[in-house]
Homo-oligomer: A and B are copies of this chain.
Amino acid sequence: MPNPKAAILVIGDEILSGRTKDKNIGWLAEELTALGISLKEARVIADDRETIIQTVRSLAATYDYVFTSGGIGPTHDDITTEAVAAAFGVPVIRHPEAMARLTRHYKDTDIDFNEARQKMADIPETAELIDNPVSAAPGYRIENVHVMAGVPSILQAMFTGLAPSLQGGVQPTRITVQCAIGEGTIAGILGAVSDQFAGVSIGSYPWFKPGQFGTAVVLTGLEIADVEAAAALVAQKVEAEGFAAKRDADNSIIGGSGIGGGHE
């Protein structure tokens, strides 16, 4: 059975204006990969009701899991919940358990648990709460969509709590082979190995430092034996051409800031 597929939906004008830099896509991507869930797409969209409705519907219909971040706070521009409920055609209710949690959270503080803050207890009727151990106001799951806060520390706490409820798959095996060879020189080898191992994805990430350069070759796949064999073949072919190749102990990248094929 193939691994479940997922999408991330980041909702927030402040990301699209560049004012706030998203940290949630990268963090969730690593977590999902570790769970054996294949992240297929990530989107950033504006705090716009119709856009949220259409995008949630489309992603929920396409993927096994959707994870959203942002727009569930107390202010007028926090419209995610209203839009997500509309996407599924259910009403928003003031959720009794969410109200109880928020009431406990604000009790014995001098913060007024006013109408704006009570709005954080508004949840689509058919949703289940996602715990927020940081600041009480819960996220929620409705069908296959998990709605979480945008603040990275809260999102991370929410996801860590809900992760055991997800149906994971096979965690991919990832092997990095460090090659003392330019990306353009190794390209032919990688194409040949890739043709031979259809289930192994091979990425190449050139790196440079004063007086040295090389390419980190990252092999990923669900079948351990195939990934091992493909990595061994890359190393063998690189060495056969007279260049050094060494399997990375920790699978980290040396100086790798590259995305996609780097230009040498």
Interface residues of A (CB under 8 A from B): 10-22, 24-33, 38-47, 69-78, 80, 111-112, 114-117, 119-120, 132, 134-137, 149-154, 172, 174, 182-188, 190-191, 194, 201-206, 218, 220, 253, 256-264
In the complex, the answer to whether A18 meets B44 with C-beta atoms within 8 Å is no
Instruction: Report B-chain residues with C-beta under 8 Å of the C-beta of A151.
Output: 257-260, 262-263
Instruction: Report B-chain residues with C-beta under 8 Å of the C-beta of A31.
Output: 18
Instruction: Report B-chain residues with C-beta under 8 Å of the C-beta of A43.
Output: 41-44
Q: A30-B18, A44-B25, A190-B75 are in contact. Are A69 and B203 (CB under 8 A)?
A: no
Q: A44-B42, A116-B187, A218-B19 are in contact. Are A11 and B260 (CB under 8 A)?
A: yes
7 additional A-B pairs beyond A15-B259, A73-B206, beta carbons within 8 Å, are A11-B260, A18-B26, A19-B218, A69-B259, A111-B185, A150-B259, A150-B261
Partner of A16, one of B42, B112, B137, B174: B42
In the complex, the answer to whether A45 meets B41 with C-beta atoms within 8 Å is yes
Cβ of A178 to closest chain B Cβ, rounded Å? 15
Residue of B nearest to A252 (CB): B19
Cβ of A86 to closest chain B Cβ, rounded Å? 18
Instruction: Report B-chain residues with C-beta under 8 Å of the C-beta of A262.
Output: 73, 135, 149-151, 154
Interchain CA distance A261-B29 in the complex, whole Å? 22
Interchain CA distance A32-B114 in the complex, whole Å? 38
In the complex, the answer to whether B24 meets A182 with C-beta atoms within 8 Å is no
